[in-house]
Every structure is written in structure tokens, then in C-alpha cells.
A and B are shown apart, each in its own frame.
Chain A
């Protein structure tokens, strides 16, 4: 089984972000980056499928500046076989542009499965995976939290609002991975050493024309300062009054 996993290098979200001087990007000073969590679960899913099949290849693809090679190496240290770096000055926001570049790389790859995380927390657009599926004209199931494969077909579970969809699909296919599918393994020391020697090809990304442009990035309006109504159960009557007269939600 030959599996591609498309991964993204994303900022650590546990910081106070600053808008860069151009007003349309994020100041990356002091910001740490890592493999997107959802993408790590996609890598884990690929490794488990390969291990179960007893053979196959897991190829990790990432688009962006040279720094994304570090992110690819992390996936290689988890156990992926080789990496492909699609060079771009920066990671664009436009999902269609990114999907075009990924589809160009994937189309003659002979992949049985192409995996994505369902979402990247920075751009938060959750669109790249299904667009790639359309460009390659292969079946697609998004946001899966369970996966079973047998005889060249798959069954996946999707969590939807208040229910679950059980979805069947043939291979080859594009899948995007939700939380709950698995727990990603940590790279072992041996894995980290081995990753340094694994092949990592780097070539220019064939980004499509961008139709989507960030005009401005701002901090969201601050929530008005709240107040502590009181302590313990004694504060309940005052809270009820405020919810009724001020917030008007009761």
C-alpha cells in the first residue's frame, strides 16, 4: 500500500500573536512551529496501515519555505519512508492554490491513499484535502475518526452534529483525519537518527493563481471585562438576576 500524507508546519497556538508591520501577516518573531496535530494523526494512520499490511511506502509531502523540511523530518522520524518538499516563499492562505500544487505532485504518484489532517489551526480553512480529491477525481471522505480497510475498500466514521455517518469508499481515495482516530506516536531516538538519512526531495511548488487575498489581519475585539458576581451558592440569585435583566438570556 502506497500512502501519501500531506502535512503542514503550523505555529504553536499557545502565544499572544502580533500582526506584522505589513498588516496582512503574522509576526513570527519568537513563535515556535511544529507539525499540525491533525496531520500527525494522519501520519500515524498511514504508519499503522503500512504496518498492518506488512509492506508499502509512506511519503510525506509539505509545501512552504525551507523550514518545512524540519516538519517533514519529524514525520520521517515517526517512521515515514521519504519526504517531498514543495518550495514556496511562504505558505499561502489560498486553499485552491495549495491544492493545485499538491495535486500536481500527487497525480502520477500511484498512491492508494492520500491523507490530510482535517484542519490547520492557523489558516483554519479546512478545504485543501477535498479540493485535491476533486482535482485528482478520486473519492474523498473528510473528518474521519475511525477507519477500517479490507479488500481495497474502506469504511470510515464521521462525527457530524449529534450523529455519526458511516461512509464506504473504494481506493484510491483522499481522507482527512479528525481527532479520535488514533494517538500519534512520539519519534524514538532511533527514529530520529534514521530520519536524518531518509530521502527528502525538494522542488519548486507549482502554485496555482490565487483568487483569495488577505487584505488585513487584526486582533479580535476584546471581550468587555467581566465581573465576579460573588462566591459560592450565595451568588446564584444575583447571577440569575443578571442573566434575566442584563444579558437577557433567561
Chain B
């Protein structure tokens, strides 16, 4: 019972970065037990072409469920496929992502199997048969070490906590049959409305530039967008105050009731650092804060702070970042 299942999330025929993170974490677990990593990918015709990418990140076996009923996320069929596989396959752990899809999918699978589940984990380890995970609680102010009994255990990883590692394996591909009623799911994703093309999402961007009330008005978010643009690999986020005021959509909100992010670099522009906001970004690798109030709580978590007027500092920083990146 030492094999590990990794669910490889995809959208529009492409693997998500979290798919590779799940395979990487599963590889680490399987290496500890001498078991195999089985990566499950579910999608429309053509998704099988992604098997190589999964094998390259450490999957011994790539399980492919192809069906045109899976062009959009199909929660009922996908959870049924994963649960069926887990019932028969002798798996100790199934690894999902704590993405919007993983948050929906992993508990469904746990429900079908009666399995123990811990979501949003920042570490997972197997010692013999003893499975423990680390899970932030109380908006990140506490971290619990949790053991999960029984096989399979269901875990989902916080995005950006496991960096995808190439771990070349000559993975073999197995086709998994979709349930006969795949096309007749009760719950149907009728439409996938995508944002601007090429726009990086908060979960996947290595750099996040976020703005708060210190920007004073919705139109001043241009400063934040320009700085994100200068980095070239940045997404734009916002505080709850800003999304509540309608300056930015709710989807951009970072914090306790919004998105939890851990980018390589987080730049907080005109953000005071309310508890509710810190909950969503305190695990970022490097934090930069620009705020006119030197006593703002954001400076307590920031690695580097600049005290000053955002309308003066941010354009200068944008220019300097553009200049610094020219050499790359």
C-alpha cells in the first residue's frame, strides 16, 4: 500500500502548474516508501499528450481519462474516476492541489471513500505507514501537525509550496475508462469565462504586486499594474477594502476571505497590513512594502520597506525594475 496517486489538474487541454507540484510531492512520498507515483489526468481528447510532461516530473504511471465530456471541469465524473481508482489501487495517499478545482474535487473523493482529508497542507511526510501533514489554521497564525489514519488518505497542497522538480522517469501510460454516464452529470460547467489572455493568475505568478486603500482611488491601480508589467511575470492583487469598494473584482482579493498566496516576491503598495490581509500573504518568500506610515503593521512582516508616498515611490520603482530587467 505504498503507491501514491497525484491528481494532475488541467484546464483547456493544458496542465496547470499545480499538477506538476502534486506529482513532485507524490514523488517525494513514493521515494520514501519505495512505491510508485501514479498521475491521473482527466480531460478532453488530446490530454494524453501531457503524459510525457507528467512522467518527466516523476510519474511512474500516467493514468489518462479522455472524454469530450471533460472539456470543462466535470466534478461528478472526475471525482468518480479518482475514487474508483483509489478503491482498487492500493494507494496510501492521494495528492491534490488546493486550487479552486482541488478544493472542490478532493472532498468529493474523500466523501465517496470515507477517507480522512486534510486540505491546504504545506508539508506532507510518510514515515513507514505514519502519514503526517502540516496545515495552517486560524488564518495562518497557527500550524497544526496532523496525522491521517487509513488508506487512502486525501491531502491537497497549498500552491507554490512544492516547486516542480524534473525527475526523469520512463513513465508508462494507462488509459482509464470514464464512467458510462460521464456526459450526464447532474452538475455541469456550462461555460468557462476566462480573463484576459496571457494574464498570470495569483496562484501561479512568481511575483505579486498588490494594492490597498493607500492608492486612494480605483484609477490609481494603474500604478500597481505598471509595476506588475515591469516585472514581466507578476499578477495583480488587492486588499479586501479595495475589492469591497469595487475598485477590483473579488477574485483579486488576497486575505482571510480571499486568496492565499505564496509567491517568490510580494510587493505591497499602500497596504497597511490588516490581520485579514496578512493571513493571505505572510508565507510569501520575500515581502516588500511601500507605505507612507512608518508604523503600519505591514512593515513588521516585510523584508524590505520603503516609507514614502506611493505616488512618488512606485513610478520610480517601476522604472528601476524595467531598467534592471533589461540586462536579462
Contacts and interface: CB of A to CB of B under 8 A. Distances in A.
Interface of A: 11, 13-14, 16-17, 19, 26, 37-38, 93-96, 99, 118, 121-135, 139-143, 145, 155, 158-170, 173, 178-180, 208, 210-220, 223-224, 226-233, 235-237, 239-240, 242-244, 247, 249-250
A124 B146 CA distance: 13
Contacts of B206: 249
Interface of B is mostly: mixed
Contacts of B144: 93, 214-218
Nearest to B202: A161
A126 B288 contact: no
Contacts of A167: 187-190
B203 A230 contact: no
Contacts of A231: 306-308
Interface size class of B (residues with CB under 8 A): 35 or more
B324 A240 contact: yes
A95 B110 contact: yes
Interface of A is mostly: mixed
A95 B107 contact: yes
B320 to A, nearest CB: 5
Interface of B: 11, 16, 72-73, 75-76, 79, 99-101, 103-104, 106-108, 110-112, 114-120, 132, 135-150, 153, 186-195, 199-204, 206-207, 250-251, 253, 256-258, 264-265, 275-276, 279, 282, 285-288, 294, 299-309, 312-313, 316-317, 320-321, 324-325
Given A212-B117, A226-B305, A220 B132 contact: no
A227 B278 CA distance: 17
Of A125, A132, A160, A173, which is in contact with the most chain B CB atoms at under 10 Å from its CB? A160
A140 B325 contact: no
Contacts of A99: 111
Given A161-B202, A211-B149, A250 B282 contact: no
